[in-house]
Amino acid sequence: MSPKLYLACSLILLGHVVAWYATYSQFIWEWCRDNIIFLPLIFALPTSYLFIFGMKFAVEEMGSAWGPRLLGFGLSYLIFPFLTYWYFNESMFEPKTLLCILLSFVIVAIQVFWK
C-alpha cells in the first residue's frame, strides 16, 4: 500500500470516527443532548475536510471514484461496530454483524490490493 493511500485511509477512518461522534454523542453525553443544535456546527467542518482530503488522495492514487467510494464504505463499517460496542455495549459478535464486518474487510482488501 502506498503512503498516499495509507494517508487516504487514515483520513477517511478519522472522518468516520468524527461522524460517529457527531451522530451518537447526543446519546452519550448530557451536554450534547441538551445542546443538539450545536453538534453540526462543531463536527461539520472537521468531518467534511477529513472526507474531502481522504477522498482526494484516494482518487489520485486509485485513479477512479468507485474504488475510493467502496473503500470509504468498508472503512466506515470497521469503525461503527467498535465505537458502538465501546459506548453502548452493543455486541458486534452476532452472525449478521460479523458477516458484515468480514465483508467490509473483503471490500477494503479488494480496493487496496487488487490492481
Find all residues with CB under 8 Å of 48, minimum gap 6, and list them: none
Q: Which residue has the higher pLDDT, 23 or 1?
A: 23
**pLDDT surpassing 90 at residue 115:** no
Q: In the predicted model, what is the mean pLDDT of residues 22-42? A: 95
List C-alpha distances in Å: 10 to 71, 79, 89: 11, 12, 25
Structural domain boundaries enclosing 90: 3-113
Domain count, the chain: 1
Q: In the predicted model, what is the mean pLDDT of residues 95-111? A: 87
| Structure confidence by residue, pLDDT tens digits, 54-97 | 999 999 999 999 999 989 988 888 888 889 999 999 988 889 88
Rounded Cα gap, residues 55 and 72, in angstroms:
8
| Structure confidence by residue, pLDDT tens digits, 1-16 | 799 999 999 999 999 9
